[in-house]
Structure 1
Amino acid sequence: MSAIQKLIRFHRFQLDERRRGLKRLEDELAAAEEKVVALTVQIEKEKLLASQDFQASRDYGNFIEAALERLKAMEGEREIAAGRVDAAREEVREAFAEVKKYEITQANRDAEAARETERRERVELDEIALNNHRLRR
């Protein structure tokens, strides 16, 4: 295995690790968003209940105050998670670019080796043809 192939393998491993980390962070972001949605739905249910029941309407003020505080905290958590996801996506982009750079270098080396092999074969065939031509004379 050549050095460039080892580099490609190493950087692909790093890219895979970063992708797994990104997936984990995206899952955390999705969970945070689900919590926000669930609390919003609960607020709407309580609002409807408070409009239909006098006892519930008396307690609604305390509920909504606490719920809005929790919602604000959850939104903060969601924003932090979104920031981490964005940073992880950038790391994945950079890791992918690094892998691609080495793959392109390897492809260029392979193409150069193929051209050199083809050139050698062409020289050899030309020499054989020249020798055959000399023998016919």
Structure 2
Amino acid sequence: MSLIMKSRDTLLRLKRFQVDEKRRHVTQIESMVAEFHRMATDLDREIQQEQERSGITDVAHYAYPTYAKAAMTRRDNLLRSADELKGQLDAARDDLAEAFEELKKLELLDERDASRERAEENAREQAAMDEIGLQGRARA
């Protein structure tokens, strides 16, 4: 195997690793966004339960439950964080797509070179067989 092929194999492994890392990063952000939304939904449910217990749904009412107010603030913060993560998610997906494109280009280049090497090897083998055939005819 030539030095070029070895370095290309190393580069392919590196690119595959980078794609896998970027894929894991995207998955991690997606999980965080989903978890924040799940937590916000749970808080919505708790807020509603607290309002039903107290019989007060007007947030401006002097006796509105303190826990419900705190849960609303937490819910809003979670949703805001989820929205911010969506921006990061878009950027991470773009990075993943770019890394994937680079990997595919390198894989295509590697496949093209491997095909060329196989064709050259086949040509050498055929030339050797032709030479053997010519030597056999010359003796006859």
TM bracket, shorter-chain basis: 0.7 to 0.9
Q: In the alignment, what sits opposite 2:115?
A: 111
Q: In the alignment, what sits opposite 1:134?
A: 138
Q: Is the 8 A contact 1:46 1:60 kept in 2?
A: no
More helix, by proportion: 1
* Corresponding letter in the other structure for 1:32: F
Q: In the alignment, what sits opposite 1:30?
A: 34
- The reply to whether residue 20 of structure 1 matches residue 24 of structure 2 is yes
Match of 2:48 among 22, 44, 50: 44
CA distance in 1 between counterparts of 2:115 and 2:71 reads: 64
Deviations 1:67-101 (A, max 9, x none): 44443332211111122122112211211211121
Task: Compute the RMSD of aligned alpha carbons.
Answer: 2.5
Match of 2:75 among 71, 75, 97: 71
Q: Deviation at 1:21?
A: 2.2
Q: Deviation at 1:25?
A: 1.8
Gaps of 5+ in 2: none
CA distance in 2 between counterparts of 1:110 and 1:23 reads: 34
After alignment, is 88-97 or 21-30 more displaced?
21-30
Q: Deviation at 1:41?
A: 1.2
Deviations 1:21-80 (A, max 9, x none): 22332232122112211111112222333449xxxx974476655544443332211111
Q: Deviation at 1:105?
A: 1.1
- The reply to whether residue 121 of structure 1 matches residue 125 of structure 2 is yes
Q: In the alignment, what sits opposite 1:92?
A: 96
Partner secondary structure for residue 2 of structure 1: helix
* Corresponding letter in the other structure for 1:36: A
What is the TM-score normalised by the length of structure 2? 0.77
